Amino acid sequence: MKTMTLHEALRWASSFLEQRSLEQPVAEWLLRHYLQLDRAQLLMRLHDPVPDELITRLKQDLARHAEGIPVQHLIGYEEFYGRKFIVNSDVLIPRPETEELVQAVLGLKASRFADRPVTAADIGTGSGAIAVTLALEAPEIELYAVDLSEAALKIAERNAAGLGADVSFLRGDLLEPLLERGLKMDIVVSNPPYIPLADEQELAIHVKDHEPHLALFGGEDGLVLYRRMIGQLPAVVKAEAIIAFEVGIGQAEAVRDMLQHAFPKAETEIRRDINGKERIVLAYGKLH
């Protein structure tokens, strides 16, 4: 059998994915991972031969992906804010929209607190993507990251250690570990589970069967965890603070109303993501 070039392997793999209505960039991600190339390097080497054992591995991984395993679990990581975060079935795979939540927090922090030291908490940290990124982008923030899942915290701790981020990890339910320790925050950020239980059957198999349900579902209407967090927030945030939530489609107004009710003096705001969907809900300024 003739040895395939990179171009031929990509073309074959893209066709395999297209026939199954799967995302074609998966082929490129796998080959780049095997060969440890960035995109520019891959494009420069399209006429290079690909070792037969890598073609075998590509076929095996594509078959597993077609059965529902996320490509991130096959390669072991997802890129977030230009960094590689270890992921597995114990944590939610970080989404690009969540980078916009991080940007919103960094922007508000810069405008409201300048460079002074502040304390922040990431609630439901999962892989640690939000907390680790904030710690690396703004080292003057003292960061806490909370999760109920011990397995998720182990992944988050590995990511923090591997990327050199100074984050304190706490195990517990929502804001309870902060309340127990009497900790007060300048910033609270969270991307909690927000998918309504009724929507489970509509989820792609890669999500439904391979990502932790604890990190996906937010009760009957998807808002259960926001209600509980907002009930706890007045005892955790300082007089002037920032609260930043990622929300699901159609939830922004309800979450904003809850925040406005809990903090009548605060400014509240809804921001759209890169796809034009209402994705980020903010409350900031005087909270008490």
Cα 68 from Cα 87, distance rounded (Å): 16
The Cα diameter of the chain in Å comes to 72
- Give the 3-state secondary structure of residue 46: coil
Do the beta carbons of residue 89 and residue 73 sit within 8 Å? Answer: yes
- CA–CA gap between residue 217 and residue 262 (Å, rounded): 24
Cα gap 181→174, rounded to integer Å:
13
Task: State the pairing for strand pair 237-246/77-80.
Answer: unpaired
Binding-site residues for substrate, in ranges, read: 191-194
Residues in the chain: 288
Residues marked as binding?
Answer: 124-128, 147, 191-194
Residues flagged as binding site for S-adenosyl-L-methionine: 124-128, 147, 191
